[in-house]
Amino acid sequence: MKKVVIFGTGELAQRIFFYLKDSDDQVIAFCANKSKIDKEELLGLPVIAFENIKETFPPTEFSMFIALAYSEMNKKRTKFFNEAKNKGYELYSFVHPSTKIWDEFEMGENCFILANNVIQPFVKIGNNVLIGSNNLISHNTTIGDNCFITSNVTMGGHITMGKNCFVGLSATINQKIKIGDECIIGAGTIITKDVNDKEVYAENSSKKLPQSSEHIGDII
């Protein structure tokens, strides 16, 4: 059994607490930057300042999960992933027991995969990736670090996705597609051709929008 400290006190962090009730591991505490803490307890557990976390929950005995969503194209989650690593923590990963995976599967640190996904053989998932429920990730697909994939997404085989991407609800990505870094695939979008770095696609028309992903917020 691993003892886990969750970084974050928002809605995602609280949901992670409940999801981990389906595991053999135990959430021990929450933590956040001292300036963000407005209460001493959350869901019956202590909330500890990240700056001092090693004193109370040393990395030799506890793992950590960075429970931040896709803010700033996942860069905020990436920042604290790196800071936790620098403090010496093992970054905890979890696959819900209802998700179907095969032996030929690779996954990095600080990944969280929710219920009822199908992840076919030879899929590789990088570090710091969050995946919602009811997705199909087909064979020989690679997902880069720091991505956020919501729910009901269909990904064909032999897809290569770069770093810090966001994929919205019910999007479909055809097989053998290459997706660059920091891309946004909006809800319901069908991708039939390669996507360059920082491009944004939204709606079923699958038309590339003129804005860079650096300037998009409303569609996600």
Give residue 205's pLDDT: 53
Low-confidence ranges of the chain (pLDDT < 70): 204-211, 213, 215-220
| Neighbouring C-beta atoms of residue 155, cutoff 10 Å | 26
3-class DSSP assignment, residue 82:
helix
φ/ψ region of 103 (left if φ > 0, alpha if ψ in -120 to 50, else beta) reads alpha
142/104 Cα distance (integer angstroms): 13
> Helices marked H in 121-178 — which ranges?
none
Give residue 220's pLDDT: 52
Give residue 119's pLDDT: 98
28/6 Cα distance (integer angstroms): 8
Across-strand partners of 131? 113, 149
Q: Which residues contact 171 (CB under 8 A, 6 or more apart)?
A: 153, 154, 185, 186, 187, 188, 189, 190, 191
Domains of the chain plus CATH, in order, are: 3-91 (3.40.50.20), 94-204 (2.160.10.10)
Phi, psi of 134 (to 5 degrees): 65, 35
144/127 Cα distance (integer angstroms): 7
Give residue 212's pLDDT: 72
59/32 Cα distance (integer angstroms): 16
φ/ψ region of 218 (left if φ > 0, alpha if ψ in -120 to 50, else beta) reads alpha
62/73 Cα distance (integer angstroms): 28
Give residue 103's pLDDT: 86
